[in-house]
Amino acid sequence: MSNVPGIPRTALIWLLVAQALVIVPHLVHLPLWMIALWLGAAGWRVQILRMRARYPNGWAKGGLVLLVLAGILLSRGTLVGLDAAVVLLIATFTLKLLEMRTRRDALVVIFLGFFCVVTAYLFEDGILAALYSLLPVTALLAALVGLQRSGFAERPWPTLRLAGGLMLQAMPLMVLLFVFFPRMGPLWSLPLPSDKGITGLSDSMAPADIAELSRSSALAFRASFEGQVPPRGQLYWRALTLERFDGRRWSQSSYADVPISPKWSKAGEPLDYSIVMQPSGQRWLFALDVGEMGQDSGRMMSDFRWQRTRPVDRPLLYQVRSWPEAVREAQGEPLGIRQALQLPEQGDPRSRAWAAELKAQYPQSDALVAALLQHFNQQPFAYTLRPQPLGQDSIDDFLFNTRRGFCAHYAGAMTFVLRAAGIPARVVAGYQGGEFNPNGNYIQVRQFDAHAWVEYWQPGQGWRSVDPTFQVAPERIERGLEEALSEEDGFLDDQPFSPLRYRELAWLNQLRMSWENLNYGWQRWVLGYQGEQQLKLLQNWFGSLDWQRLALALVGTGTLLLGLLAFWLLKPWQQRSDPQREAFRTFERLLARHDVRRESGEGPRTFAMRAARQLPEQAQQIEAFAHCFEQQRYAAGPASRAPLMRALKALRRALPWRLSR
């Protein structure tokens, strides 16, 4: 047994290091057996290098492949899908190490490594993940450099330094391509990895659903306003409109998917802002009422929510202009009004009877709504994340028995009573408020800001929003969930290490705010740099822009950068003249005038001997110059240039003044 033909030891060392660095970001979602697989393969490869083990034969390789497929099937439940494909790719990257014999095999493993680095972005695309990815890429480049037949083959650290230099030299070109290369939309959409842990609203709601969301500190989106940020109490971010009630859950109705734009009229001063939304796996977007967006961002549905054609599977940046005082459907759509009065045929008799009493006492809709809000405010209702379980008649049980609940309890109960009283109403689910970050002058909204409120309709006035939760816990709306639960140990109680629990520590909170602002900039200017943002930036630079001008700018800037890079690498100002080489070139030109030309690959001595035979009268001077040149060039002769120049001068005098034709 011998070492691997064509694969230097240094290349193998850096390849093993690169494999370890590639696998590290995947540890949180890879099955544990994958770690054991890599450790075993790396150990086996080292033993092969030490000539203490053989390469696996065909049966062993086939058995390993079957074991990997069985492991993927057992751990992922399928061999198809993004999760399974990532595990299979990393397993291939690992097992290929065992049959790597030639330089070509090593190149295949290195290129597989680059693909594995990219797959890590499917699970985490933050700035730390981007910076970390430079480590495995540099190690893979070091392995690639180590494969070359040069002095680097046995020198690991110079190999790494060269790979790092190549990485730094590629940075300007990378930035150029990022800025100028056209941002094209995907030809298809990949599903989000199941292990990514996306949390958020769903298309239906029971009271406990939003309570569970409120135990999560995951980021939902960030919003930057042009001008002054509105007060927290005005920040109601609409996501869904829930109109159908089955006695337990609220869900979207078929009317919500009708592809018509609702009628509304602008009023008051608009708010301009941009949102960077986190991946949710859903198609809806967040906006304040009533918003306008570009056609590329999404479309407004019949219930005033915004929806995309594709799920949000990566951070999404979009611009919104909203009119909070807009009048929404003053005349009303018959189908929508009927849907907003729907109730189950049976159930919750006490709530229905109470609604009839309120209707008789308050014939006007506004008066009835005010009375209902006053009831929540004056009666002993409580705001809690740990409400008691509700019975079969959930609305009756909440309104007349437990009286303890979360925003979804109050919004659902109020909507039910309004409908039972003949007032069209519906539940709106979304987020309320958000934390202001002074470092970047923006609002960051998290899952624990999930909220539900009520819309009711009046002829001539349209849909109007009210929030029964404000009557029970105004501090929830004005100061946030943490303040509302100050007397209850329920805020992030299952996340003891979350920095959000220690916001009273000024230095820690400032550090958190600064880090989040850095991530926001990364998402907005790097991850959010898509077609619309690219076009806007380039138009600011070049004015009116077309593909021809963009291509010329890309080629011109690229040529300039490559020229500057070549100038820096070659360093012509540092190059020293070679007097011996210049003298020999003069020697060649003198002989060429007499039809004696040096052939390609011909050495100095061979050329001089042939020239002496062709010019016998000047043979002595030719041989004298050749001998002097060899002494100075190869035999560490005198460093002075004078002897060589004297021999060249003697040859010039000896040659007749005849030029070749």
Active-site residue numbers?
Answer: 407, 451, 467
Burial class (CB in 10 A: 0-12, 13-18, 19+), 575: exposed
Burial class (CB in 10 A: 0-12, 13-18, 19+), 578: exposed
Judge contact between 453 and 428, C-beta under 8 A: yes
Q: Tokens for 59? A: 């049966």
DSSP per position, 490-542: TTTTT-TT-GGGGTTSHHHHHHHHHHHHHHHHHIIIIIT--HHHHHHHHHHHH
Burial class (CB in 10 A: 0-12, 13-18, 19+), 174: exposed
Q: Tokens for 36? A: 């054991």
* CA 309 to mean position of chain CA atoms: 20
Neighbour count for residue 406 (Cβ, 10 Å): 28
DSSP per position, 41-108: HHHHHHHHHTTSSPPP-HHHHHHHHHHHHHHHHHHHS-SSSHHHHHHHHHHHHHHGGGG--SHHHHHH
Strands (E), 158-212: 204-205
Sign (positive/negative) of CA torsion 45, 49, 51, 54? positive
Specify the amino acid at residue 88. Answer: L
Residues paired with residue 11 on neighbouring β-strands, in sequence order: none
Could you tell me the strand order of the sheet in which 250-251 lies?
Answer: 204-205, 250-251, 244-245
> What backbone phi and psi angles, to 5 degrees, belong to 142?
-65, -40
Type and span of the H or E element at 620: helix 619-634
The CA-based diameter of the chain, rounded to the nearest angstrom, is 134
DSSP per position, 568-612: HHH-GGGPPP-HHHHHHHHHHHHHHTTT--PPTT--HHHHHHHHH
Neighbour count for residue 378 (Cβ, 10 Å): 9
* CA 167 to mean position of chain CA atoms: 21
CA distances from 34 to 29, 46, 83, 100, 193 (A): 10, 18, 13, 19, 18
Type and span of the H or E element at 397: helix 394-397
Neighbour count for residue 228 (Cβ, 10 Å): 8
Strands (E), 354-417: 382-383, 404-405
Helix axes 103-119, 82-95, angle to 10 degrees: 150
* Location of structure tokens 């109705």: 253
Type and span of the H or E element at 137: helix 127-146
- What torsion do the CA atoms of 437, 440, 441, 446 make, to the nearest 10 degrees? -40
In eight-state DSSP terms, residue 360 is H
